[in-house]
Amino acid sequence: MKSEIALDTPVPRSLVALLPATPKGAALCRRTACRQLADWGLDSVASEPFHSARLVVAELAANAITHGRVPGRMFELGLALTPTAAGGALLRIEVSDCRGDRYPAPGALPTADSQSGRGLMLIDALADRWGAVPRPPGGKTVWAEIELPAVTSVAHVA
C-alpha cells in the first residue's frame, strides 16, 4: 500500500544491506538501491537525481568488488534519505568494504582508449560531495551525497 509522506517529516529513512563481494553481489547492490529509491518515490519525483544515484551506486559497488574485495568477505550498501531545512532532502550513499589499506584517490586522467579509470570522475561529476573514511577494524566506507530538490511529497511504501 502506498501512502504519501511529506518530505519534511523529521524521520530520516535508511537501508543497510550486506552483499557478497562478487559481480553478482554488485548487480544485487544496484537492484536493491534502485528498488529502495523507487520505494521512497525518487524515481518519479526527482528523476535526474535517481539516475545519478543509480550510477553512483554502480560505480561504488564496482570499486568495492574490484579494489576492496577480500576473499570470503562481504561489502555493505547504506542509503539514507534525510530531509533538509530548505524543504529538499539529502541522499547519502555509502559502500563499505574490508580493504582499509586501499583508499580511492583521483589519479591521472585515463587515455581515450582506456577500459577503466573513469569511475571516480563520474562520481565526482554526479555527486555534490564524496569521500572515504576508515571503518574499524580494518575497512573503509566510501560515501557520496546528492542533494535533492524541494518537492511536496515522496511516495513511501508502508
Residue 112 falls inside a structural domain: no
- Specify the CATH number for the domain of residue 123: 3.30.565.10
Question: 37 lies in a domain?
Answer: yes
- Residue 35's alpha-carbon distances to 28, 58, 98, in angstroms, are 10, 14, 25
* Residue 119 dihedral angles phi and psi, to the nearest 5°: -60, -50
What pTM was estimated for this model as a whole?
0.84
User: Mind listing the pLDDT tens digit for each residue in 112-149?
Assistant: 777 767 888 899 999 999 999 999 888 999 999 999 88
SS (H, E, C) the chain: CEEEEECCCCCCEEEEEEEECCHHHHHHHHHHHHHHHHHCCHHHHCHHHHHHHHHHHHHHHHHHHHHCCCCCCEEEEEEEEEECCCCCEEEEEEEEECCCCCCCCCCCCCCCCCCCCCHHHHHHHHCCEEEEEEECCCEEEEEEEEEECCCCEEEEEC
Look at residue 8 in the predicted model and tell me its pLDDT.
46
The range of the structural domain enclosing residue 130 comes to 2-103+119-157
List Cβ neighbours of 72 (8 Å cut-off, separation of 6 or more).
none
Domain assignment of residue 58, yes or no: yes
Number of domains in the chain: 1
In a domain, 108, yes or no: no
Would 151 be classed as within a structural domain? yes
pLDDT tens per residue, range 20-72: 999 999 999 999 999 999 998 888 655 788 899 999 999 999 999 998 888 88
Domain annotation covers residue 143: yes
